[in-house]
Amino acid sequence: MHALLKFSKAVDWLNAQIGKSVIWLILAATVISALNAVVRKVFNTSSNAFLEVQWYLFAWSFLIAAGFTLLHREHVRIDVVNSRMSKRAQVWIDIIGFAFFLTPLCLTVLYLSMPVVIQMYQSGEMSGNSGGLIRWPVWAALPIGFTLLLLQGWSELIKRIAFLRGQGPDPMGRLTDKTAEAELIEALRREAEAKAAQEAGATSGSTPKPQH
């Protein structure tokens, strides 16, 4: 179990680093979109390459951040029934989901997408639009993204099994990237704000009404 937990920690670190870097892809897509709009309005011209690179960057940011999203448990969940169950039952539901739904789905996508990417790379397939881009780089985001998602699914599976065996912390809470010092400062700030609001309320409540 110790080796599996080390593997899980390494996967968590990998997806955390990738997730923090994805913001630059989104920034690049935003800047390119803005420049393309300015050029089109000012010079009345445009380029399919600039238009396509925007959704290339979006596809990459969306797909390769899937593992990061799972790491932080930010995927959409339907917890109407799950939330009413015990912590142990919730963990078992996650284990079944990761093992028998997420894993087969990711493996199927990898099985189907890899030959397509290889074929596009070998043929050098280009966009059908005039001045468009080569296709394989955007398609490569599919197997890479689902590989990262698969690895994170296995990491979450390991953490839940470790929890059931009493060898790991509760894996169901929300993660945070803040340090202990940052969390303490945040807690003190909230406490100070609550105290200030309480004092303001008490002051306004004790202010005498004007006489007419």
Write the pLDDT tens digit of every residue in 138-166.
999 999 999 999 999 999 999 999 988 88
**What distance in Å separates the CA atoms of residue 51 and residue 124, rounded to the nearest whole number?**
20
Cβ neighbour number for residue 136 with a 10 Å cutoff: 18
In order along its 212 residues, the chain shows pLDDT tens digits of 889 999 999 999 999 999 999 989 989 988 988 888 888 888 887 778 888 888 899 899 989 999 999 998 887 776 677 777 788 888 898 899 999 999 999 999 999 999 999 999 999 888 888 778 899 999 999 999 999 999 999 999 999 999 888 887 877 766 655 544 455 566 667 777 777 777 766 666 555 555 55
In sequence order, what are the residues at sequence separation of 6 or more whose Cβ sits closer than 8 angstroms to the Cβ of residue 88? 164
What is the b/e burial string over 143-173, where b = at least 16 CB atoms within 10 angstroms of the residue's CB? bbbbbbbbbbbbbbbbbbbbbeeeebeebee
